[in-house]
Structure 1
Amino acid sequence: MLRPLFFFLACLLAAGAALAEGETRLEEMATADDTRGWEAVGRIDMGHGSFCTGALIAPDMVLTAAHCLFEPDTGEPIPVAQMEFLAGFRNGRAEAYRGIRRAVSHPEYDFGSDKKVFRVSRDLALLELERPIRSTHVIPFDIAGARLRKGSEVTVVSYAENRATAPSLQQVCYVLESYRGVGMLSCSVDFGASGAPIFLMSETGPRIVSVVSAKAEADGQPVALGGQLHGSMEALEEALSSATYVGMGARLSGSPDSSRLGAKFLRP
């Protein structure tokens, strides 16, 4: 069973419902030439046949979504012994295989919170690898020093259900709305794409601005949701430095939710 994403039915934001002109289709990266430069995106196998997507941001550090660290049915933390990062995984082989030493969610993330918009805004996690990946073929990505802004053009690389054996690239999709730390995007995602890096392209190459948290619908059109990475990296790094077990994080209650990004969350 593939790791499920939360499913969000948006009832507002009609202006963001139509896909923007210029958006490209999702394309499988089936060859070495296709994946060149993207090898630091990998599949995170979580045990029991489930997986998420993650991206290397340091030789020993992977960025992904916080909800990937928890059993979807029980909310229990998944033991790190069951996790493995497969950098640049394609057609049965990876550029590098690494176990996970420690894993931590954002200190303000609460898997069981009913404040679902706030939960998406903090749906971020770091995995520390057992050993660094030092390879000229696997270069960690930089973090963008910018926020998700409405109208921005972004790029997504992900694994997902029915495309688990090779990464897929959507070169151009758009930020349809951004509010209270949550971006709604026109990008194509599916189960397994949780944690996939969302990139802003710059003159120096791709920089990660967010990660995929959920697939969604807005006015009948498919969209994706991601939390703002800007302002969260320091909190994640501090949490990891003191973490001794998977999913370590605060349990918050009473956090404000936002009706602007929709009316109802559903679980598939």
Structure 2
Amino acid sequence: MSTLALPDQQIRVETSSAQRTAPTGRAGATIRKTLYRSGAIIGFLLVWELIPQFLLEPASKVFLPPLHEVLQQLWKMIVSGDLLTHISASLGRSAIGFLLALVIGVPVGLVVAWFSRIGDFLNPLLEVFRNTAALALLPVFTLTLGIGELSKVTIVLYAAFFPVLLNTILGARSVDPLLIRAGKTLGLNNFEIFSKVVLPASVPIIFTGIRMAGTSAVLVLIAAEMIGAKAGLGYLITNSQASFLIPKMYAAILTVAILGFVVNAALVALERHFSRWARA
């Protein structure tokens, strides 16, 4: 009896050891993958730290301080609360303009894509405005709407609107016709086909436009805040440059980069959440 039980015991021991090592192996692979993907950023930060210290002359080092001085200045602004004030101002303006672009752009894009006559009528005008850069219209918004919050929110709305609109049109028009015919065969009316077939199938492409709009909303606002603003990351950059506070200027620029990365990561997470059916 004991000899017959030994193989089972051995199998159980080997199985348990495999169960212990499998998660460890997966964790190690995940760590290696993360380090590999972060290698370029780590290398860039090392170059930023080392070149000003060892390769630049003291006079040139003033205009390109090493990374540790920038991080020290960034920490000072975090502790004092100054950075949070400027981030809140920029995020508030970007969020309002971005959300307005979504609320207007997605429905308009779906209507233009669904009704071909409306699309044919509006397409020339949309092409004209799509090819007009938002920053080229910044003086127009400033002259007509003033230098207050309204002009900044409006230019963010303009910059974010067209990526959302055009990708919504593209997504709705690229739905497989077989899916639409299958819906009609099942007895769905036009509204049901639109809500249950066209709209879900358009989500991945629509979110591509939303991600582009999120990036545009942040970048255009930073440029707008450099003119006539009293708070915001764009104002912080130009004010620091004018006051010759170079580490503070680079700290603000680094904050903009981190903010853009976080916004894009959040939109990617939302895209994965709403596109689970496509991956399945």
Name the TM-score class by shorter chain.
under 0.3
Larger Rg, first or second structure (1 or 2) = 2
Give me the TM-score of the superposition, normalised by structure 1.
Answer: 0.19
Give me the TM-score of the superposition, normalised by structure 2.
Answer: 0.19
Q: Which structure has the highest strand share of the two?
A: 1
Q: Which structure has the highest helix share of the two?
A: 2
